[in-house]
Chain A
Amino acid sequence: MLSLPLPGGIRRNPYSLVGDPHDRRKWRIAVRRQEQSRGGSAWLHESAREGQPLKVSMPANLFPMARLARHHILIAGGIGVTPIVSHARELARLGHSFEVHYAHRAPEFGVLVDELRQLAGGDVYCYVASRNEMLDFRQLLAERPLGTHAYLCGPQGMVENFHQVARDMGWPDTHVHSERFLAPPPGEAFAVKLARSGREVAVPGDQSMLEALEAAGAEPPFLCRGGACGQCETEVIACDSAFQHNDLFLSQPERDSGRKIMPCVSRIAGGCITINL
């Protein structure tokens, strides 16, 4: 987790470490420059300077590997390649059987391919959209030996498709792993009432609820800031608008109950929400 000193205030963004996990002297991240940056990637590409100290938090792993697997299939979509490189590095070090499939938009987006080839040798397969190469999960997951585990880090649609195909092909959820990279989606402005202090905080359309709370001086819990870990789960006391749940954490019954929200990525469609904070 990097704290970036943006002009509008501190922005905390999570990034995947892509370096050697056994080299504790440096932490390495890869950041894609987003055309529609919420500020973080643009600031890192344009304003960050060598030697500039940044506040970072301890790393956490929310995308662990199954160490008893007989074979690992690592799949990356776009910049989702970052945790995949770390997994490939660890599997190569352990001498386990694995292969890497990497889908990206155009050859120039294939960052870290050379590094992957060093780690996995010939078992790196690229699918470049500009060359009309498509990654077909049905083909990829067919006739795999028992005890194979598959991992994907990529955008939400790709992750959903991956899980659906795996389920259709009889893969149990225990063998299918994913991490979705997710910046807090923008939406309508709304208000948050803090039940314990009685304060009210305005959440602008381009800011997440968690960021707005932090900017107002509240200190809600958080860890991944990507809707995956569950750390920021917050009790909802009242809400006069529709929920927009974007997290991967809450179950459908929890969503239906209207009693819980993950402020790092989820919001409401205008109006006001009262939370137990």
Chain B
Amino acid sequence: MSAAAPSIKSQPVYHALEWDAAGVSHLLFVAADDRPLLERLLAAPPRGDLTVLVTDAAAADHLRASGSDAHTVVEDGLARGLEALESFLRTADMGLRLYLVGCEDAIWQAAGIAARYGMSSAEIRLFQTGTKARPVFCVHCRAMTRGVRTNLADCSGCGRTLFVRDHFSRRLGAYMGFQIDAEEPGVKPPVEVAYP
């Protein structure tokens, strides 16, 4: 999958996911069903311990069917998956590499947890797959609205109609949203699905 050039510098670009041979143990966090990717990765597993943590039911089924002998943990949904990730990292040692596969909301929440455990970008690889839906951070009330597929979205915190920008915060793991009709109340462009 070739990554399109972003319209704005802060927007992440994801490269084809490969194992990091410098790591001595590996945790693959799977929050979306991308069968070709999983098959390719597990066909040539890395040196050292590999754990696969899956939060997507379809991906878990495919993994079971594939007959991979990687140590696999299945969690029901993203919230539980992130909790499981955190407890894994709490007792993990240096030498671990973390691979995050899924929609941006999932992988950047996971990256935020990893950063709290002192991991640097040199130890984490992210790959966006599945839905392009965006987590949106409201610059007015600072609330997060998740799973946004349209160019405009109602803020989950203050209810303003937000325009979803391409400007991305790695710290927050979200795109910036600001009130579309602040200057001329009620004047809004049509709502379109922009992030399927």
**A residues lining the B interface (CB < 8 Å):** 68-70, 141, 143-149, 167, 169-175
Question: What separation, in Å, do the CA atoms of A167 and B94 have in the docked complex?
Answer: 11
Q: Given that A141-B94, A172-B123, A175-B94 are contacting pairs, would A148 and B118 also be in contact in the complex, using a CB cutoff of 8 Å? A: yes
Of A70, A148, A149, A170, the contact of B24 (CB 8 Å cutoff): A170
Q: Are B94 and A170 in contact (CB under 8 A)?
A: yes
Are A147 and B22 in contact, CB atoms less than 8 angstroms apart? Answer: no
| Central interface residue in A169, A172, A173, by most chain B CB within 10 Å | A172
Residues of B bordering A, CB below 8 Å: 22-25, 48, 89, 91-97, 115, 117-123
Consensus secondary structure, chain B interface: loop
A151 to B149, CA, bound (A): 46
Q: Which residues of B contact A173 (CB under 8 A)?
A: 122
A174 to B115, CA, bound (A): 13
Residues of B within 8 A of A141 (CB): 94
By beta carbon, the residue of chain A nearest B48 is: A170
| Total A-B residue contacts, Cβ distance less than 8 Å | 54
* A142 nearest CB neighbor, chain B only: B93
Nearest A residue to B114 via CB reads A146
Residue of A nearest to B94 (CB): A144
| Complex contact B22–A146 (CB within 8 A) | no
Interface centre among B22, B24, B25, B121 (most CB of A within 10 A): B22
A64 to chain B, nearest CB (A): 15
In contact, B122 and A147 (Cβ under 8 angstroms): no
Query: CA–CA, A149 to B120, complex, Å?
Result: 11
29 contacts between A and B (CB under 8 A): A68-B115, A70-B117, A143-B93, A144-B94, A145-B93, A145-B94, A146-B92, A146-B94, A146-B96, A146-B117, A146-B118, A146-B119, A147-B118, A148-B118, A149-B118, A167-B22, A169-B94, A169-B95, A170-B22, A170-B23, A170-B95, A170-B97, A171-B94, A171-B95, A172-B22, A172-B122, A172-B123, A173-B122, A174-B121
Q: Closest Cβ of chain A: how far from B91's Cβ, in Å?
A: 8
Residue in B89, B115, B120 whose beta carbon sits within 8 Å of that of A172 in the complex:
B120
Q: Is the CB of B118 within 8 A of A69?
A: yes
Q: Which residues of A contact B92 (CB under 8 A)?
A: 145-146
Q: A70-B117, A170-B23 are in contact. List 12 more A-B contacts (CB 8 A).
A: A68-B115, A68-B118, A141-B94, A146-B118, A148-B118, A169-B95, A170-B22, A170-B48, A170-B94, A170-B96, A174-B120, A175-B120
Q: Report the minimal beta-carbon distance from B81 to chain A, rounded to whole angstroms.
A: 18
Which of A144, A147, A167, A169 lies in contact with B119, CB distance below 8 A? A147
